[in-house]
Amino acid sequence: MKTNIIPRDGELVGPWQKDLFTAVQTGRVGNEVFDCLIVGGGITGLTAALLLQQSGKKTLLAEAHTIGFGTTGGTSAHINTFADTTYNETESAFGTEGAKLFADAIREGFDLIKSNIENYKIDCDYELKTGYLYAENEDEVKLLAEIFEGALKVGVPVKYVTEVPTPVPYEKALAWAGQAQFQPLKYLQGLQKAYLAAGGTLEEHTLITGVILKNGVLTAENAVQSIKAKAVIYATHMPPNINLFNFECAPYRSYVLAVQLKSGQYPDALIYDSQEPYHYVRSHVIDGQELLLVGGLDHKTGHDDPENAFAELEKYTRTYYNVSSVKYRWSSQYYVPVDGLPYIGKMPLAPKGIYCATGYNGNGMMLGSIAGRLLSDLVRKRPNKYAGLFDPCRVKLIDSFSELVKENSDVAYHFVADRFGFHETDSLIRLEPGQGKLVEVDGRKVAAYRDEDGTIHALNPTCTHAACIVNWNGAEKSWDCPCHGARYDIEGRVLTGPATRDLGRYGDEK
Ligand code: FES
């Protein structure tokens, strides 16, 4: 086994990226027509790929970077039987039956991870823990009561408890027994091994820029080849290019610190508060040393300063825990769906045979797993009881309209403001090494980054997705789009969709 650092979509290195084997490229695309092309090598793509390949479908998984490069490589890997969209919220939007189905899906995703770990003997630090959610004031106590009622109504076991392993003073708390955590990249690589062993084809560094229907076959284009398939699954977290989901899902960044405590006492639990934005803590043994993972302070991508979020998170952590050192800090992205449930199924307004999955909120481990199973069933034309509930073509205008407006009001602002140049700019001269900024040079906007050698990397800041202006993310050293969450590295290369084209370089322009 070779020790290396698995890359991910940010500059900060999280604890999952070390000591894993280098991913294998099989390079067997040729001219054949695959039963299914899966675009994206995260938990959704690999779960679907494994199920399809094992069912006898000839499958190709194409990943733009390397396996686990996206959000699966940056998740804090909570495996729960409850969800960010609570069961009472689900019931109000989708009825009691809808809420029960959602609870079943979450449970099935949970169980699928467990059975994969057992079946493929994946050594991924999987551990069962009790999950606690506590309330610190009267309003949060009311919220807790609703969550309690909602969970019981759909058959998810939960109870009130008086003891929570947290130093934070609280009023009331709920506990879910039998929750879990794991090391997500080890899990992913276990799936990858099983997929390759089953005869699956994997192409890394293969960015699919679009899929068209050509002579009755879906044809995916990338820079060097055409790939033909009877079905295509976008397991890219957000389907690429401009699509309906740009208006139905809002991108968020979430932050994590992994710290060592002077006391050496780490909570043996998954613990969440009810604040908005919330905090959570859990522990994990990394490189033989136990660490406390403290996360949260989520905000919409490209809107707040990530360095502030990290500073606030560290302040919060030091308020309640005796920290001896901060070992890791990193951030990751997820998408909040407008009506609370993910979109998994046939891609709206796309040719027949194209499927997608997005809008997992903060529950990507369970929902990514269940999406993998649902999508593989759809490709195999097998019934799946969640197909209707998660159908991307569903319309929930009445329930979701106000949320849609709320989530996207700032998108509308950026669409207008970015095009007409109302942003503050700064001078290139004052740009420090390691710093990026939007500046104005000769009347045009430049996304400028000065590297440690003093070289300026100047990009056209116009997002190639739908022309909003990107903002600098100083923590991950990336350019993040505030509209639909596309992200680019300092050379302008796409890190995160929905964009599929790199930012223009001013040096390259004629
Ligand atoms: Fe849509 Fe940038 S991600 S405009």
Pairing of strands 354-358, 226-234: parallel
pLDDT band at 23 (very low <50, low <70, confident <90, very high): low
Environment class of 150 (CB within 10 Å of its CB; exposed 0-12, middle 13-18, buried 19+): buried
Mean pLDDT of 238-265: 92
- Residue among 225, 187, 192 at smallest CA distance from 59: 192
Task: Report whether pLDDT(30) > 90.
Answer: no
- Cα 334 to ligand 1 centroid, rounded to whole Å: 15
- Residue among 123, 19, 68 at smallest CA distance from 332: 68
Who wins on pLDDT, 425 or 456?
A: 456
Tell whether ligand 1 has an atom less than 6 A from the beta carbon of residue 466: yes
Residues 320-379: tens digit of each pLDDT: 999 999 999 999 999 999 999 999 999 988 889 999 999 999 999 999 999 999 999 999
**Would you state the pLDDT for residue 422?**
32
87-119 helix and 397-420 helix, angle to the nearest 10 degrees: 80
- Cα 501 to ligand 1 centroid, rounded to whole Å: 11
Tell whether ligand 1 has an atom less than 6 A from the beta carbon of residue 484: yes
- Residue among 116, 135, 136, 134 at smallest CA distance from 126: 116
Q: Which helix (H) or strand (E) holds 419?
A: helix 397-420
pLDDT band at 410 (very low <50, low <70, confident <90, very high): low
Query: Average pLDDT of the chain?
Result: 89
**In contact, 227 and 38? CB cutoff 8 Å:** no
Rounded to an integer, what distance in angstroms lies between the CA atom of residue 57 and that of residue 298? 39
Q: Which two tokens stand for residue 149?
A: 């009622």
Q: Map out the domains of the chain with their CATH numbers.
A: 42-126+182-248+338-395 (3.50.50.60), 129-178+252-334 (3.30.9.10), 404-510 (2.102.10.10)
Backbone angles phi, psi at 229, to 5 degrees: -155, 155
- Residue among 339, 351, 428 at smallest CA distance from 391: 339
- Cα 172 to ligand 1 centroid, rounded to whole Å: 41
CB half-sphere exposure, 398, CA atoms < 13 A: 3
- Residue among 133, 494, 461 at smallest CA distance from 282: 133
Rounded to an integer, what distance in angstroms lies between the CA atom of residue 478 and that of residue 121? 36
Counting from 1 in the atom list of ligand 1, the atom nearest the Cα of 251 is 3
Sign of CA dihedral 182, 385, 241, 415: negative
**In contact, 494 and 488? CB cutoff 8 Å:** yes
87-119 helix and 364-379 helix, angle to the nearest 10 degrees: 80
Task: Report whether pLDDT(224) > 60.
Answer: yes
Q: How far is CA 132 from CA 124, 144, 159, 274, in A?
A: 23, 11, 10, 11
Residues 159-184: tens digit of each pLDDT: 999 999 999 999 999 999 999 999 99
Percent of the chain, pLDDT > 70? 90
**In contact, 35 and 229? CB cutoff 8 Å:** yes
Rounded to an integer, what distance in angstroms lies between the CA atom of residue 403 and that of residue 341? 13
**Would you state the pLDDT for residue 405?**
43
Task: Report whether pLDDT(103) > 70.
Answer: yes
**In contact, 75 and 60? CB cutoff 8 Å:** no
- Residue among 129, 127, 125 at smallest CA distance from 183: 125
Rounded to an integer, what distance in angstroms lies between the CA atom of residue 202 and that of residue 45? 11
Please tell me which of 384-388, 407-411, 497-501 the model is most confident about, judged by mean pLDDT.
384-388
Task: Report whether pLDDT(421) > 60.
Answer: no
Q: How crowded is residue 126: how many other Cβ atoms within 10 Å of its Cβ? A: 18
Lowest mean pLDDT among 212-226, 229-243, 292-306, 348-362: 212-226
DSSP character for 260? Answer: E
Collapsing DSSP to helix, strand or coil, 440 comes out as strand
- Cα 241 to ligand 1 centroid, rounded to whole Å: 9
Rounded to an integer, what distance in angstroms lies between the CA atom of residue 23 and that of residue 13? 18
Lowest mean pLDDT among 204-218, 224-238, 422-436, 493-507: 422-436
Counting from 1 in the atom list of ligand 1, the atom nearest the Cα of 486 is 3
Counting from 1 in the atom list of ligand 1, the atom nearest the Cα of 414 is 4
- Cα 234 to ligand 1 centroid, rounded to whole Å: 18
Lowest mean pLDDT among 46-50, 265-269, 402-406, 497-501: 402-406
- Cα 466 to ligand 1 centroid, rounded to whole Å: 5
Tell whether ligand 1 has an atom less than 6 A from the beta carbon of residue 463: yes
Residue nearest to atom 4 of ligand 1 (CA): 466
Lowest mean pLDDT among 93-102, 169-178, 319-328, 406-415: 406-415
- Cα 412 to ligand 1 centroid, rounded to whole Å: 11
43-54 helix and 184-197 helix, angle to the nearest 10 degrees: 20
- Name the CA dihedral angle for 241, 245, 248, 254, rounded to a multiple of 10 degrees: -70
CA angle (132, 185, 16) in 5-degree steps: 75
**In contact, 256 and 327? CB cutoff 8 Å:** no
pLDDT band at 152 (very low <50, low <70, confident <90, very high): very high
Rounded to an integer, what distance in angstroms lies between the CA atom of residue 275 and that of residue 34? 47
pLDDT band at 454 (very low <50, low <70, confident <90, very high): confident
Mean pLDDT of 38-62: 97
Q: Which two tokens stand for residue 290?
A: 């136990």
Tell whether ligand 1 has an atom less than 6 A from the beta carbon of residue 481: yes
**Would you state the pLDDT for residue 452?**
80
Rounded to an integer, what distance in angstroms lies between the CA atom of residue 479 and that of residue 501? 14
**Would you state the pLDDT for residue 4?**
78
Q: Which amino acid is at 377?
A: D
Tell whether ligand 1 has an atom less than 6 A from the beta carbon of residue 211: no
